[in-house]
Amino acid sequence: YGVRSAMPTVEARRLCPNGLFVAGRMDRYVEVSRAVRSVFESFSPVVEPLSLDEAFIDLTGSERLLGPPLDVGRAIKRRMRAETGLAVSVGIAPTKMAAKILSDMSKPDGLLYLGAEYIREFLAPLPVERLWGVGRVTLRKLRAAGIHTIGELAASEPALLKAHFGSFGAHLHQLANGIDPRPVIPDWQRKSYGEESTFPSDLERGSLELRRILIAHSEALGRRLRSARVRARTVTLKLKLARPLGEGRYPVLTRSFSLERPTDDGVEISSVAIALLDRVREPDRIRLAGIHVHNLERSEPRQMGLFEAAAQPRDSRRDRLNQALDSLAKRFGEETVTRGLARARRAAPTRREK
């Protein structure tokens, strides 16, 4: 029927109208994700989440303690099975990109290891769309230039790639040659957080349902910020409009606002997000909505201004309330206590910023 992973439900129903569609259980996924993350962190403190069930783990310097890479991979698989009951695919390589490709190739329960001396040989025969950043448009341009494999891209003249893709061409050339200097960035070093949902059916911009989803995403972001002990100064609203541009593409709008003081409070984040939504004048229905927070700062005692003293008790009460809600969510699940407006329909994110 052509139904595939990450396809919008609306499109999947059109392709397969007689299919059975099962609702997701995001609270359960988050619970298991925490257990998975705990296993990862038992092998290294440097863990960069990619999604609820996927992460990069930096094992640099751990061989003396944990053993050779293949032994570590086997140990991760054993512990994951014992503590969560889950099978896990593991890819071990000198670079993030190669490790991700190996992990994908070893699904659903395999283990692949690649030494640094074989990385170019391994990449060369793979289709060029395996590279990070090669989407539909870039792939079309590469094929038009006669480039179909990673090896062909690696052998291309850098000047030719720059002419077609600008500075991004140089980056692609590096990746194709096995050069990927990007480090594993642990959660506490990340620069932003985000929550997005693609809806089963398009929503009106002014609908209560859309506001409920934004509030639920704001609450989730607040919990994540507090868990990481950081606050965000800038809130960005992202909307994908239900106006097809062709080739599966839709226009995307973003609106941002920077606060005077950074926040980790879901109520404050949702207030900004809804105010940004109210500024949007496009009449289109919405097929995706997301909130991203950035310009992060470590959570430290806040210096109150001379005329902010009156607000201090309110802030203190809200901080204590958030701490209590976080404790309840950690113990009983994230839907234990929510704001009334968000309660009517839980907004399970279809994409969580990694």
Phi first, then psi: give them for residue 328, nearest 5 degrees: -65, -45
Hunting for tokens 């599966």 — which residue is that?
248
Name the token pair of 61.
């310097």
Region class of 246: left (phi > 0), else alpha (psi between -120 and 50), else beta: left
Compute the distance between CA of residue 207 and CA of residue 280 in angstroms, rounded to an integer.
13
Q: Is 353 a catalytic residue?
A: no
- Which position among 11, 41, 54, 152 bears the catalytic label? 54
Name the token pair of 62.
């751990």
- What is the dihedral sign for C-alpha 295, 299, 303, 308? positive
Torsion of CA 215, 218, 223, 228, to 10 degrees: 180
Name the token pair of 347.
């907004």
Q: Which residues pair with 238 in a beta bridge?
A: 254, 290
Buried b (16+ CB within 10 A) or exposed e, 60-87: eeeeeeeeebeebbebbbebbeeebeee
| 3-state SS class at 320 | helix
Q: Kindly list the catalytic residues.
A: 54
